[in-house]
């Protein structure tokens, strides 16, 4: 796989802008911004600057230029959808400091993997609301730990309400981009995600301009599609293995035939950004199948950047994030999922200038 040296991007920008526009498929795939250029999606809000899935993270993302904000959905014991990266919450809340919940620490098998900790499905919403959020990667983003303990766990409904308030504040439509997490596991536990998500979409009268639903599991997206909500769907793709509980690999899904199958129920694919680097042809193949492509996850720290964009050797120092964005914008991606939406928005401004 080959990345151009960062110095080349200024030479390539003008020609790439024309070629990327020509390559974009003419499909109805959800909310688009009039400003032009790829969409910027705030990954769990602005996880690079605030503890993820908090009101401050989502607000930061929108004020920085994000078009969509991404809540990961997991259920409570009383079947309320809340937003956490995982249903195991010891790394994203202060639950371990609550002696009243000590006995709920347990080990469960989630998607075939043993996980020990505290799980949202063992708490009512009222109990979860007594917890406070913390930075998930304190050794990487020590600066974010200053915000530990300041905010509660949010419900999906609260994220929808916040998106609408931010849309009004900024005079542009902010879409929510929920991901159904571990849907097969929760279905087996009697807490299916899809019926409650469908109910909330209908209750809030969310349209294709307001909401795009993503999942790694095709069965979850097909269930959403069957509800005929008119929402764009996004098939997330991993780098190895396959979606849990499905007799297909991600490699199979990324073939031309697999992409045509995805296009029968979804308008987007969301691969890891490494899957889009030439000589791999996934981007062109997806566009040929009528799919838009949103790459994940863009971060600024050296350890998350390809070697050509790193600066120095400290893993948590910032590298040339702008160079990586420019490369993928030049390739023709339709969206980027990022922990640093302010950097992505600035890079998009450079690209569309």
| Prediction pTM value | 0.92
Please report, rounded to a whole number, the percentage of residues in the chain having pLDDT higher than 90. 90
Residues with Cβ within 8 Å of 203's Cβ and at least 6 positions away in sequence, in order, are: none
pLDDT tens for each residue of 213-272: 999 999 999 999 999 999 999 999 999 999 999 999 999 999 999 999 999 999 999 999
81-140: per-residue pLDDT in tens? 999 999 999 999 999 999 999 999 999 999 999 999 999 999 999 999 999 999 999 999
Rg (CA), the chain: 20
Question: What are the CA-CA distances from residue 52 to residues 75, 103, 219 (Å)?
Answer: 17, 26, 27
pLDDT confidence bin for 2, thresholds 50/70/90: low
**What are 13-55's pLDDT values in tens digits?**
333 333 333 333 333 355 654 458 999 999 999 999 999 999 9
Domains of the chain listed by start with CATH number: 6-86+152-352 (3.20.20.190)
Sequence-distant (6+) residues with CB within 8 A of 46 are 57, 58, 60, 61, 64, 66, 339, 340, 341, 342
Q: Is pLDDT above 80 for 318?
A: yes
List 75's β-bridge partners, or say none: 81
Class of residue 288 by CB neighbours under 10 A (exposed 0-12, middle 13-18, buried 19+): middle
CB contact at 8 A, 293 and 283: yes
Q: How confident is the model at residue 5 (pLDDT cuts 50, 70, 90)?
A: low
pLDDT tens-place string over residues 117-134: 999 999 999 999 999 999
- pLDDT over threshold 80, residue 169: yes
């Amino acid at each position: 796989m080959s990345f151009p040296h960062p110095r080349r991007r200024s030479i390539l920008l003008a020609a790439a802008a024309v070629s990327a526009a020509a390559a974009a498929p003419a499909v109805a795939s959800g909310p688009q911004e009039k400003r032009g250029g790829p969409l910027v999606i705030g990954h769990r809000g602005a996880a690079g600057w605030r503890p993820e899935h908090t009101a401050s993270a989502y607000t930061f993302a929108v004020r920085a230029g994000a078009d969509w904000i991404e809540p990961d959905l997991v259920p409570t014991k009383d079947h309320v959808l809340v937003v956490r990266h995982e249903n195991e919450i010891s790394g994203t809340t202060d639950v371990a400091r609550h002696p009243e919940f000590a006995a709920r620490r347990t080990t469960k098998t989630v998607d075939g993997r043993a996980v020990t900790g505290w799980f949202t499905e063992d708490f009512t919403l009222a109990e979860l609301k007594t917890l406070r959020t913390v930075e998930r990667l304190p050794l990487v983003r020590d600066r974010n730990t200053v915000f530990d303990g300041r905010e509660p766990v949010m419900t999906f409904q609260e994220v929808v309400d916040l998106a609408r308030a931010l849309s009004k504040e900024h005079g542009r439509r902010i879409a929510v981009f929920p991901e159904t997490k571990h849907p097969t596991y929760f279905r087996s536990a009697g807490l299916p995600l899809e019926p409650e998500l469908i109910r909330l979409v209908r209750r809030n009268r969310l349209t294709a301009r307001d909401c795009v639903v993503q999942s790694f599991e095709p069965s979850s997206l097909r269930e959403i599609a069957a509800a005929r909500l008119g929402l764009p769907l996004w098939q997330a793709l991993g780098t190895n293995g396959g979606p849990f509980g499905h007799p297909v690999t991600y490699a199979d899904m990324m073939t031309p035939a697999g992409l045509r199958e995805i296009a029968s129920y979804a308008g987007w694919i969301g691969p890891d950004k490494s899957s889009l680097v030439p000589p791999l042809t996934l981007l062109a193949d997806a566009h040929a199948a009528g799919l838009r492509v949103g790459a994940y996850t863009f971060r600024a720290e050296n350890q998350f950047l390809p070697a050509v964009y790193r600066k120095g050797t400290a893993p948590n120092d910032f590298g040339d994030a702008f160079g990586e964005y420019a490369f993928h914008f030049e390739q023709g991606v339709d969206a980027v999922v990022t922990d640093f939406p302010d950097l992505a928005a600035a890079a998009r401004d450079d690209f569309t200038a």
